Amino acid sequence: MGILSGNPKDEPMHYGEIFGVWQFSAKAKMTLSALQAYHYHAGDQDLKKIIDDLMDQAQREIKECDKLLKTSGVFPTPTLPDRPSTKLADIPAGARFSDPEIAAALSAGVAMSLVECSQIMGMSIREDVGALFMKIHAAMASLGLALLRINKQKGWLIPPPLQLKRQEPVPV
């Protein structure tokens, strides 16, 4: 097999893997900044706990992706500065995100991360790259489930139209 045999970490990444990892790292850095803002806006303590878990996950993603990029000789995007601390009461009511808005945005972000991870796993030929995104995918799926539960418990979930009655089959 030549260049693609042996230890996957010694194999070069192809351009799709490089861009996927670079883009995911950039997204994680922007997400971390947004999560910091959401943390200041959130009033619900259960929601704040999930935001903390998502921030920890984003920091792990940044560390692992940037390490992989640097090892391959690719410069990752710069990290955004931390947001200044503020209290919920100091945020004007018209500028404040509500807890249901935050939970919906977090749910959408987790769903997008699952798709991104699947895409990178599908294009990867380096086993360590695929395994990294499989690990991130599993962590995000777990966080997504926690978000779904809190959305249901708090009454924040806006479901699509539900089929309450099954239609009678029509003979054709």
Helix (H) and strand (E) counts for the chain? 4, 0
pLDDT tens column, 110-124: 999 999 999 999 999
Give yes or no for a contact between 78 and 62, defined as CB atoms under 8 angstroms apart. Answer: no
pTM of the complete model? 0.89
What is the predicted pLDDT for the residue at 3? Answer: 61
Please give the share of the chain, as a percent, with pLDDT higher than 70: 97
pLDDT at residue 162 greater than cutoff 90: no
pLDDT tens column, 17-71: 999 999 999 999 999 999 999 999 999 999 999 999 999 999 999 999 999 999 9
Q: Find, among 125, 29, 146, 10, the residue nearest to 133 by Cα.
A: 125
Angstrom CA distances, 47 to 41, 51, 104, stand at: 10, 6, 11
pLDDT tens column, 98-157: 999 999 999 999 999 999 999 999 999 999 999 999 999 999 999 999 999 999 999 999
CA–CA gap between residue 122 and residue 138 (Å, rounded): 15
pLDDT at residue 2 greater than cutoff 70: no
